[in-house]
Amino acid sequence: MGTDTVDGVCVVTHPLAGAGENATRTLLNIVAAIAPVCLVTADLPAGSTIRDDHEVVELTQKGAGAGILVAAVRFLLNQLRMCRVLADRDERVVLFFGATSYLLPVAFARLLGKTVLIEPRGDVPLTLRLHWEERVPAVVARVLAGGVRGLERACFAVADGVVTYTPNMARQLGLDPDDPDVYPNGARYVDTERFSVAVPFEERERVVGFLGRLDEEKGIRTLAAVAARLPDDVTFRFVGDGALYEWLETELADEIREGRVELAGWVDHDDVPAELNRLRLLVMPSQPTEGLPTTILEAMACGTPTYATPVSGVPDVVREGETGFLMRSRDPDRIASDVADALDGDDLADYGRRCRALVEAEYAFEPAVERYRSILTAVTAG
């Protein structure tokens, strides 16, 4: 049975904020090109444009909660609210996006006869464990995260299918990308008109950089050490804001004064394409908790190669020797040496051209729509 018989798709998420909102918006845009779509969520930011573009059912204005006990109670209450909403919805397909451990509504939707898909955004149990280890003893954090992992695995088993961004992301989550119930090519899309090659690669100065939150988990202290070790004719540009911004100002004061380091601060998303067009190389020590950082795809759309850690879906797009370089070590000396070697290579502009070609072929809007059309066709035909 094809997607022409699907009367709609209900996308369900956990409380949304920041990057989660952006990722959800792109998914909704893809699905809306195939079938009517509705979003069931919680704590959607007040100014979100998602409300203007799609039907939204908001469970609550409360977030996940700061404390573990409060988060657990809200987690349960949101599941009960989801069940109540799903009982009243007519959509045949329910897609749990990022909400990978919501076993009650997943099982309830199946009991209602709906087709259920689960799409992780990253490794949620690992993310929670690292977060909880800052608040409780490590053994307690591991036990709690293990419980969430168990719920996630149960959801995977109950659902009709699991969608991951790339095959390597599926493997990291313990899934077999060749399993008929796993759909390992569900990556989102990049707006290839906004993110394009505005500055020819050959005209760019020897500037490399990082774009994202300037926080501990992003490896900013390591990148600061790297920036201080780069050749004098290379500028490292930090684009973003966060807890370590002032620390960077102090730690790299000499390099900033000499023009070898630049702190751009927070930039509006509309200005991100211009920032990426300034770079010859994006340096992203991606975390194992991430699925596929959107910034990497946006950089590639701008013809900017990436040097990133080979976690989750990253190696599927940052292809060694073709579209980028994989970070095998967190040692600042090794990273600085690799960055300098990449900049000195004669073929870095060719990497940039292959980046743009890959995004146009696989990660533009139309290819993404066709991927999801195939996924929905396959899962509703079962």
Burial of 332 (0-12, 13-18, 19+ CB in 10 A): middle
Burial of 158 (0-12, 13-18, 19+ CB in 10 A): middle
Residue 269: which pLDDT band, with cuts at 50, 70 and 90?
A: confident
pLDDT in tens, 178-220: 999 999 999 989 999 999 999 999 999 999 999 998 988 788 9
Pick from 12-26, 211-225, 269-283, 368-382: least confident = 12-26
Please name the helix (run of DSSP H) or strand (run of DSSP E) that holds residue 83, with its range, or none.
helix 68-88
Give the pLDDT confidence score for residue 1 in this predicted structure.
Answer: 37
Phi, psi of 260 (to 5 degrees): -85, -15
Q: Does the structure show a pLDDT above 50 at 51?
A: yes
Q: What is the mean pLDDT of residues 70-75?
A: 79
| b/e code 114-146 from CB counts within 10 Å (16+ = b) | bbbbbbbbbbbbbbbbbebbeeeeeeebbebbe
Q: Does the structure show a pLDDT above 60 at 3?
A: no
Give the pLDDT confidence score for residue 67 in this predicted structure.
Answer: 66
Q: Does the structure show a pLDDT above 80 at 133?
A: no
Q: What is the mean pLDDT of residues 87-115?
A: 95
Q: Does the structure show a pLDDT above 50 at 2?
A: no
Q: What is the mean pLDDT of residues 38-47?
A: 86
Q: What percent of the chain has pLDDT over 90?
A: 71
Domains with residue ranges and CATH for the chain: 3-189+364-381 (3.40.50.2000), 201-362 (3.40.50.2000)
Count how many Cα atoms sit within 13 Å of the Cα of residue 8 in the half-sphere of its side chain: 12
Pick from 33-37, 53-57, 127-131: least confident = 127-131
pLDDT in tens, 311-323: 889 999 999 999 9
